[in-house]
Structure 1
Amino acid sequence: MTTTTHGGPDALGVPRWDFSTNANASGPCPSALAAVQRADARPYPDPSYTALRESLAAFHAVDAARIVLAGSASEFIGRFTAWVARNGGKQVWLPVLAYGDYAQAAQAWQFERVRDPARAHLAWLCEPSSPLGEVEPFARSVVASGAQVVLDRAYEPLRLSGRCGLEAAALRQVWQLWTPNKAMGLTGVRGAYAIAPERAVAQARALDQLAPSWPLGAHAVALLDAWVSPTAQDWLAQSLERLREWRASQRQLLTELDWTVLPGDANYFCAAPPRPLDAPALRAAGIKLRDTTSFGLPGHWRLGVLPPEAQAALGTALRRAEVFE
C-alpha cells in the first residue's frame, strides 16, 4: 500500500490542536457550511455542471469554456500529468521544495525530473508556495519555458502579505488550479477547479474527457457555489485580519522558545526547533505539526496559524522537556 504524507487526522483521530493543515482557522465560513448542509444529495448533479462553470467563470472574469472541474487538487494533478504524458511529455520541472503529489504523479508516469525548465514538458508552480508560503523565484522563467505550466493557487485566498510573483499577462498563459475548501475552512469537502490558459479551450475539453463521470458530488458543488458568493468573500476578507494577528503572535511564541522561524506570506510558516522534536509525544499531548521532510526540508516543521488558545497549548507542550528527543 502506498503511504501518502499529509497533515490532518491520523490513526489517533482528529488532533485537538491541529497545526499540521493549512485550513482557515477562522472557519468554517458560515455561509459555505450552511450551503453544504443544505445540499440535496439525492439526485445526481448536472453531469455538465453548467451553472457551476458559469458562476466560477463569472467570478474570475473568464470564459466558462476555460473552467475544468476536478474532484480535488490531487485528482487534477494526477489527471493533468497523465494528459501531458499521453501527449508525449517525458520531462518535468518541480520547485526545489514542493507538495509531494507533483513528484508522485510524475513518477507514476515515469517523467524525468529536470533542473532546466526549458527542457521540461510539464512544470508545477505554487504561490504562496508550500511549505514556505513564499513567491516562487523561478516563476517567470518557468512560464517562458514553453512547458505546460500549472500554477497551484490553493493558498492564494489565504495570502496574508505580499503578492503573486506573476503579472496578469503571465497568469493568462498558465493553468491556474484553485482549491477553495482551505479558504472556507472545510477541507473535508473535496472539490477543485482549474482555469485553462486563454488559448487552451481545446485542451480544457480534452482534460474534461479524461475525468470520470460526476467528478464533483452535491456537497462539492454547494461549496464551490458558495465560495464565489459576496457573502463568503466578505467573510474571507474579515478572517484574514484575524489570521494576521494570530500569525504574528504564533511566530513570536516560537521565536521566544528559540525556534528558527522562516519568513512567509501565507497562513502558515516553517520553523526549526532548537533540538529534534518527539512527534509522538507531542501528538499524545493533542498537538500535531507537519514534518516538512516530504517537501524536501528536513529538520523543519510547518505550522498552520491557529487561534490564541491553540497557541497557548503549543507553548505549554513545548516547554515540557518530554516533547524533545
Structure 2
Amino acid sequence: MTHPHGGPDAMGVPRWDFSTNANACGPSPTALVAVQRADAQHYPDPAYTDLRAALAGFHGVAVERIVVAGSASEFIARITAAVARAGGQRAWWPTPAYGDYAHAAQAWGLQRANDPAQADLLWLCEPSSPLGSAEAMASAVAQQGGVVVIDRAYEPLRLSGRCSLGADALDRLWQLWTPNKALGLTGVRGAYAIAPLQSQELARALERLVPSWPLGAHGVAMLRAWVRANTQQWLTESLERLRDWKAQQQAQLAGLGWTCLPSEANYFCARAPAALDTPALRAQGVKLRDTTSLGLPDHWRLGVLPPAAQAALSQALQSTPLRCVEVSA
C-alpha cells in the first residue's frame, strides 16, 4: 500500500480491530444522529459560513483563522503544496511519526531536514502517533522560523498529561484538528485547522489551493455536532471508561510477556515477546497495527478496546503459535 494504515482491509472490517485509534466508546450518539440526518441532496454552503463561525466560537478564535479541510491528510498535502509553491525546500517531522508528513514532502519535492532550524515546514503531533506521548522537541520546534503545524488529532482522546505547549506558543502555530477519531466516526471525513495569529498570506494561499466543497454534507454535520455541549460531555465520560480499559489491556499484555511503552492517549505501542503470525490472528478476527512504517520497527500499536475485545485478543495470542524467531533488540 502507498499509505499503510489500520482498519478494514481486503477481508473486510475486523471483528476485533486494535489497529485504529478511534474512540472505542463511540460512535457519539449526537454526532451519529447528525450525520444520519445530513441533507445529502444539496451542496453545503461553499464558504461554510455557519460551520466556521461555530468552530471559531468553540475555540475562542477569530473566524478568519478557521480553515476547513476534507481530512487531516488532505490538509497535510495542501499545506505542504503551499509551502513548496512559496519556495520551501525542506521539511522536518519527528521520528517515529505519521507517514503522511513524509509522503506529502516527497510528493512535492521537499527534502528531509535533519535539523529543524533548516526546515521550511515542520510537523509536531501531540499526543504523538504512534507513541501517544509528548514530543521531546516540541518547545524548540515551535520557536523555529518555518511553517510549524501541530497535529492535534488525538488531543481530545488524551487520557493523561497535557500538551507541552502553552496557549501563547499554540497561537504561533497551525493547529490541525480531526474530531472523527474522538467521535468514533472515522468513516466520516472532515477536519479543520486554526491558523496562527500572523499567517494571513499562507491562509489565503491555502484557500486558493482548496477544491470546491472539500467537506460534504456529512462532514459538515459531524463537525457541527462536535462543538455541541452534549457531545463534549459524552466525550468526557468516555475518557473515564477508556482509562480503565487501557489499564486492563496493558496489564493483560504484560502478563503475556509483552513490553508496553508509556502513552498518554487511548492507544499505546507494545513489543511482543516473539514475532507474531499476523495472518493467523487476522483469521481469528484480530487485527494489530505494525509500526514499522511509522518508524518504530518490532512494535505494534494497539488501540484501547473494551474487555470483550481484550479477551478475544488474549485468546487469539495464546492459541496462535509464535514464530520461532526472537524479536530483535
TM-score (norm 1): 0.98
Separation (CA, whole Å) in 2 of partners of 1:140 and 1:198: 18
The 5-angstrom pairing of residues 303-322 of structure 1 reads 303-322=302-321
**Which residue number in structure 2 is paired with residue 269 of structure 1?**
268
The 5-angstrom pairing of residues 213-232 of structure 1 reads 213-232=212-231
**Which residue number in structure 2 is paired with residue 13 of structure 1?**
12
Structure 1 unmatched runs, 5+: none
1:76 aligns with 2:65: no
Structure 2 unmatched runs, 5+: 325-329
**Which residue number in structure 1 is paired with residue 327 of structure 2?**
none
Asked if the contact 1:279/1:323 (under 8 Å) is kept, the reply is no
Asked if the contact 1:152/1:178 (under 8 Å) is kept, the reply is yes
CA drift of 1:320 comes to 1.6
Asked if the contact 2:281/2:320 (under 8 Å) is kept, the reply is no
Asked if the contact 1:281/1:323 (under 8 Å) is kept, the reply is no
**Which residue number in structure 2 is paired with residue 102 of structure 1?**
101
**Which residue number in structure 2 is paired with residue 206 of structure 1?**
205
SS at match of 2:145: coil
CA drift of 1:203 comes to 2.1
Asked if the contact 2:175/2:193 (under 8 Å) is kept, the reply is yes
**Which residue identity is paired with 2:27?**
P
The 5-angstrom pairing of residues 50-65 of structure 1 reads 50-65=49-64
CA drift of 1:204 comes to 1.4
SS at match of 1:241: helix
**Which residue number in structure 2 is paired with residue 300 of structure 1?**
299
CA drift of 1:324 comes to 4.2
Asked if the contact 2:82/2:202 (under 8 Å) is kept, the reply is no
CA drift of 1:205 comes to 2.3
Q: CA RMSD in A?
A: 0.9
Separation (CA, whole Å) in 1 of partners of 2:116 and 2:70: 28
Separation (CA, whole Å) in 2 of partners of 1:319 and 1:281: 12
The 5-angstrom pairing of residues 116-135 of structure 1 reads 116-135=115-134
CA drift of 1:201 comes to 2.8
Separation (CA, whole Å) in 2 of partners of 1:151 and 1:238: 26
Separation (CA, whole Å) in 2 of partners of 1:9 and 1:146: 40
SS at match of 1:322: coil
SS at match of 1:107: helix
CA-to-aligned-CA distance 1:89-115 (integer Å, 9 cap, x gap): 001111011000000000111111111
**Which residue number in structure 2 is paired with residue 161 of structure 1?**
160
CA drift of 1:78 comes to 0.4
CA drift of 1:229 comes to 0.3
**Which residue number in structure 2 is paired with residue 145 of structure 1?**
144
1:250 aligns with 2:252: no
Structure 1's consecutive aligned runs of 4 or more residues displaced over 4 angstroms after TM superposition are none
1:112 aligns with 2:111: yes
